[in-house]
Structure formats: structure tokens, C-alpha cells
Amino acid sequence: MKKNEAKKTIQQLREQLHYHNYMYYIENNPVISDYEYDQLLKNLEALEAQYPELITPDSPTQRVGGKPLEGFLTVKHKVPMLSLENAYSYEELHAFDERIQKNVGAVEYVCEPKIDGVSIALIYENGVFVRGATRGDGVQGDEVTANLKTIRSIPLSLRGSVLSNAEVRGEVYFPIAAFKKFNKEQEKKGEQVFANPRNAAAGSLRQLDPRVVATRPLDIFVYYISYSDKEIHTQEEAVETLRKAGFRVNPFIKKVQTIDDAIQYCEMLEEKRDSLDFEIDGAVLKVNSSATQKQLGSTIKHPRWAIAYKFSAKQATTTLNDIVVQVGRTGTLTPVAVLEPVQVGGVTVSRATLHNFDEVKRKDIRIGDTVLVERSGDVIPQVVKSITEKRTGDEKARGIPRKCPVCGADVVRTLDEVAVRCPNKQCPARLRWRIEYFASRDAMDIEHLGGQTIDKLIEKHLVESVADLYHLTKEELLNIEGFKDKSAENLLQSIESSKSQGLARLIYGLGIRHVGKYAAQLLASQYHSLEELGNASAEELTQIHGLGQKTAEAIANYFATEENRTLIEELRDIGIRTKEQKHIGKLQGKKVLFTGGLQTLSRPDASDLVMKQGGMVVSSAGKDVDYVVVGTDPGSKYEKAKKLHLHIIDEDEFKQLVGTT
């Protein structure tokens, strides 16, 4: 296809994909199948690969693929992002309305749910999304454009001509159903579990790698136009303009005539609160007229024309009967509150998280206390605080256990962690979690091996490590309650099939601290056997693009342990695939460093090309770096590379090196 023809086809494909994104993510009314959408996207990707000079920032192919950031830039907002004054009673709302009427007379209000998420500002120039930032201190915030581009409901280019140059405000949030699923998966992997959806949204936007953000199903509601080159007369008009431009607008936004109507709206919204798939902590009332908003103005902190009515938190008081300790996969001891059952937000709660022992001490929570319990949405309830005024003197403090409650081993704690751990690798609690993790779908995918079965295997002393799974016999299984011929055969067949899983799954299933699915895949692409990975030093591992210092140290420490090396030898002898065929390429064994922006390749694509040729992408300049690929606006790495007299090449030379030209 000639370039002119390709340019026309690319534009048509982009328009189709923008339309289908809008129908799927904004209108919730897809008109083609996922397969058809994927085919359109693949066609666009193929054409852009053929003519990379035709790639534009608003292309649907550019949503994910930016390089991991070294840190966030601080940017100034076009218009300060002021906070809202809060009201906690209807009397306060009436007082707010009286102040308005005293100054400008009777007004209409636009009411909307107050989303409990992360406030952001989006800037569009000539209809194209160019920058996004967090609220920060209200005057300036962190630029998180690359992360925001991963959110499918944020349009990369605006629809129609209702908006062109504008700054709009919105709230990024983590849908409740998706949050529950995400936390469950994090727990299985032994990785960070978020306290609530808002923390999950904030933590996701703070990720330095947009590819990580892209794995998290963030969403957004846009609610305000803070700046525009087109005059907006009312908040109602602003909402409709946002909707027409292709933004996701909350369906519960409503214009009302009086403050009493606004109060009825707040009552309605609070009743619906539990049925929504997004967290709300109140309602926002805004004066509808833009001219009146300007007339009322703002204080240093708050606009005088808007107020947030805060709902009461989902809380209750009850007695804390005991604090028990759970032991997780990595040996972490977690305190859990055993409560006198109490109704919180329509659900009976009898257990609540206390997070860690430092938290118990900081909040001075004692057995026998009357405690305030909170349930945000449908997440795990937590103990907010003790009601010290109700103490009788019989309450007992719960100190840090000196021994593991399951196996009796002396616990350990490092200076840089709040976690208290059981060091006994053979602790039944740790062993149970370890086997379940190894057998999970994302790891070795051993079907028919649930938690109850694992408990029985441990109880019968049939497994003391994951390797023992591969020595189980049908006779042994038939001696366990609940097993029949067919169920025993199914489990043994699933265990046998797992031997052929790929290296990345095996690395993930070993349960190395801080090594999730992405890190496991990265390691499998760099090291083609467990033996090779096991010989890598922490220093070498930190050079892998995408691995942090803690992860590198955890990997090196894992393989430095004799017990783990013995396990790997056992797995290899059993017949599990501990190595994969190594691809011999032009960059075999070479280290490549990128600095500056590439014109025709995204950084991840360039990194993939290096790895496909057997090379390794590193993140810092050192004497052992073989090639430094310099793009536009290179940073300090380029200067260091020159001082070290490293082999510096440009993008075209790099493409020749990997054979793409």
C-alpha cells in the first residue's frame, strides 16, 4: 500500500476505533464484537508499523506503551483546583443557600454524586488530549499523562466541535467489583492489598510504569469545564458539552430549582449508595449559572458557589472480643479483630482487619475495647479506633507474638519492614499458602487442588514441599476422605500436565517475594533456565529494565538459600520444565541502554526487539553496557555514556542492528 493510501486508511481506522471506544466505554452499547474491534486495531498497528512517521499521539495504538517514568513532573494548573467546603447536615445546606440568596438572590443548583476517587485535570489542545495532572496542592500537581492514557473512557481526541481547547476536571476511581477481584488476585500473589478503592486508584496513578497502570481497570467521571475557548453559560450546559465531546458523565447528575429539591436529591443518592459500582461519600451542589459563579467568586481555599454534603460513614460500635493472628504465604503474621457480631452498612460483621501490629499499637487497640468499625463499600471491614472513654480497666493489650501461633517458631522482624514473620519454611500455615500459590491458575494451573485438599495432604504428612505433589500416588489419595477413583485420577493427571508449563509460570509459582506475573515473564525472557536465573547477582538483576532494587534482592536471596536450590534440583529431576530454548540473536549477551525519545518506535517495542535478539535492556550507564541508543532530548545517561566512551548509536543504527530496516 502506498503512503498516501495508507494515510487515508489509517485515518479511517482511527475514526472507527474512536467511535467504537466511545460506544463501548461511554455509551455502554457496543455495536461490534471484541474480535472485530481487535481486527481493526491490528490493521492499524500493522499500517503504523509500516509507516511509523504517521503515528500521532491520539492514535488508539498509543494508549499503552510509554516508557516507565523516572519520576513525575510537577505542572501548574491553568485554573487552581480548589477544595470544596463540606456540610454534614441539612441545616448547613440551608445556611449555604441563605448566604447565596443574600448575595445574588434565588439560584438553581446542579447536583452530582461526590465520587471517592482521585481528582485530575485534563488538558486538550485542538481537540487532542495533551496533558493530565493530579490535584496536588491545588495550584500545581503531578503530570500523569501516560497513566491517564491507559484509561479507556478518557478520549484521546474529542468528538464533534463542541470543545477544542479546554481544561476539564474529573475523578478517577476504581470500580468496586473490579476492586474486589483485584485485591483477591493481589492476595493470592502475596502482593500489596489496598485498603479501599480510593487508595487503589491513587496508588495506581502513582505507578511509574504505565504498563502496570494498564492492568488495573480504572475509570473516570468528568464533571466540570474549568477553562475553555468557548463560552459556557451554565453548569448544566457544561455537563451536556462534556457528554457531546465524548466524556463519561455521571448518570445521576441533576438540575434542581431549590435547596429543598437538592436535599431530596441527597436523600435519594444516599439510599442508592450501596447499589452503585463506584464509591461515593456525598453529593456536590453547584450554582448552575456561570455568571453567578463568577459573581460569588472564591475564598483562598473554596469556591463560594459550591458545597459538598458528606454522607455518614458506614460505621458501628461493638466489642472487640479477641485479637487472633493469621500466618500468610510469606510468613507474615497479621492481627485480626474478632468482634461481637454487629450490623455495619446492612452486613453482619464479626471479624475486621487490624493491618499490622504497629497499627494496633499506634491506635492503642485492646482486647475488650469498645471499638468503632467501618465498612467502606463492600470491602474488608476495619477497626477505626477504640472508644477509650468506655474502658473499664479490664482491657488487655495485644503485643507482638514472639512465636508463630501455628508452628511455634521464633518470629523475626527486619528494621525496614513493619511485617512480623514466621521464618519456618515448613510451618503448616506457610506451606498451605505456598502450595496453593504454586498450584494457582496463573502459576502451574493444577486443577482439583483446592485449599481443603491441601490441608488434608499436609495433615497426612503427604506433602512437605511443592515437589512432593509430584510423588503422590493414587493409593495415598484414596486414603484421604472425599477421594474416589475418578477424583484421584483427575488430580494426578492435572499434576502431571503441569510439568510442561512455561518457565515464566514456574518462576511465578515459586512465590519469590515481590515477583508477580509481569516480573516472572521479564525474568523468563532474560534467563532461559532456573539455574541461569539462580546464578544472577542482585546487582545484575537491578540492571533489568522493569525490576526494582527490592525485587532484585528478593530474587538473589531466594536462590542463595540452599533449601530453594535443592527444591529446584528436585523439580528438574521430576521432569518439570526448568529451562526453555534460548533464542540466539544479534544481541546475544549484549546490554543495551536507551535514553531520550524514539521517533518511530515506542520504548517497549524497542525493548522487545532487544530481547528477541537475545539482549538485555538496562536502565543505567555502566562500563559493561554494549550499546547506548540515543533519541531526542537525551538526559544525564547520555552525558555519562560519553564520559565512559560507550558505543553510542542513533535510532536508525539501532534498527539496522536488530534488522528492522
Does residue 531 contact residue 568 with C-beta atoms inside 8 Å? yes
**574, 607, 636 - which closes a domain:** 574
**Residue 502, pLDDT score:** 81
- Picking from 588, 594, 633, the residue whose alpha carbon sits closest to that of residue 612 is 588
Identify the DSSP state of 22.
I
351: β partners: 338
Residue 95 corresponds to which cell in the numbers above?
A: 445556611
Q: Is residue 598 part of a domain?
A: yes
Q: Residue count of the chain, please give it.
A: 661
* 433 plus 341 within the same structural domain: no
**Residue 308, pLDDT score:** 93
* Separation CA 135–CA 84 (nearest Å): 13
Q: Is residue 417 part of a domain?
A: no
* 304 plus 165 within the same structural domain: yes
21 Cβ contact list (under 8 Å, min separation 6): 60, 152, 155
**348, 379, 397 - which closes a domain:** 397
Q: Is residue 579 part of a domain?
A: no
Identify the DSSP state of 154.
S
Domain of 544, in residue numbers: 503-574
- Cβ neighbours of 407 (radius 10 Å): 17
* Separation CA 467–CA 575 (nearest Å): 11
* 249 plus 179 within the same structural domain: yes
Residue 371 corresponds to which cell in the numbers above?
A: 471499638
CATH number assigned to the domain comprising residue 51:
1.10.287.610
* 258 plus 347 within the same structural domain: no
* 264 plus 339 within the same structural domain: no
Catalytic residue numbers, as ranges: 114
* Separation CA 608–CA 587 (nearest Å): 12
Residue 207 corresponds to which cell in the numbers above?
A: 505507578
Does residue 201 contact residue 210 with C-beta atoms inside 8 Å? no
614: β partners: none
Q: Mean pLDDT across the chain, nearest whole number?
A: 87
**Residue 378, pLDDT score:** 46
134: β partners: 120
* Separation CA 245–CA 161 (nearest Å): 8
Side-chain half-sphere of 101: how many Cα atoms within 13 Å? 12
* 108 plus 58 within the same structural domain: no
Q: Is residue 69 part of a domain?
A: no
* 32 plus 84 within the same structural domain: no
* Separation CA 380–CA 354 (nearest Å): 10
* 286 plus 362 within the same structural domain: no
* Separation CA 444–CA 3 (nearest Å): 47
* 216 plus 162 within the same structural domain: yes
Distance of CA 263 to the CA centre of its chain: 36
CATH number assigned to the domain comprising residue 285:
3.30.470.30
* 528 plus 595 within the same structural domain: no
CATH number assigned to the domain comprising residue 352:
2.40.50.140
Buried b (16+ CB within 10 A) or exposed e, 377-401: bbbbbbbeebeeeeeeeebeebeee
Low-confidence stretches of the chain (pLDDT < 70) are: 24-31, 33-35, 38, 63-71, 190, 192, 195, 313, 345-346, 376-379, 416, 518, 521, 545-546, 582-583, 604, 608, 611, 614, 661
* Separation CA 102–CA 71 (nearest Å): 48
Kindly report the three-state secondary structure assignment for every residue of 292-339: HHHHHCECCCCECCEEEEECCCCEEEEEEEEEEEEECCCCEEEEEEEE
* 157 plus 180 within the same structural domain: yes
What SS3 class is residue 574?
A: helix
**Residue 133, pLDDT score:** 94
Does residue 221 contact residue 279 with C-beta atoms inside 8 Å? no
**449, 483, 500 - which closes a domain:** 500
Reported as type and span, the H/E element at residue 629 is strand 627-630
Q: Is residue 304 part of a domain?
A: yes
* Separation CA 335–CA 422 (nearest Å): 14
Radius of gyration of the chain, Cα coordinates, nearest whole angstrom = 29
Alpha helices in 190-313 (DSSP H): 197-205, 210-213, 235-245, 259-272, 290-296
Q: Is residue 236 part of a domain?
A: yes
* 482 plus 551 within the same structural domain: no
CATH number assigned to the domain comprising residue 553:
1.10.150.20
* Separation CA 398–CA 391 (nearest Å): 15
β-pairing, 306-310 vs 280-287, is: antiparallel
Q: Is residue 450 part of a domain?
A: yes
Identify the DSSP state of 26.
I
Domain count, the chain: 6
389 Cβ contact list (under 8 Å, min separation 6): none
**Residue 2, pLDDT score:** 83
Identify the DSSP state of 632.
B
Q: Is residue 68 part of a domain?
A: no
Question: By CB neighbour count within 10 A (0-12 exposed, 13-18 middle, 19+ buried), where does 362 fall?
Answer: exposed
Q: What is the pLDDT of residues 26-53, one digit of tens each?
A: 665 666 765 677 678 888 888 888 888 8
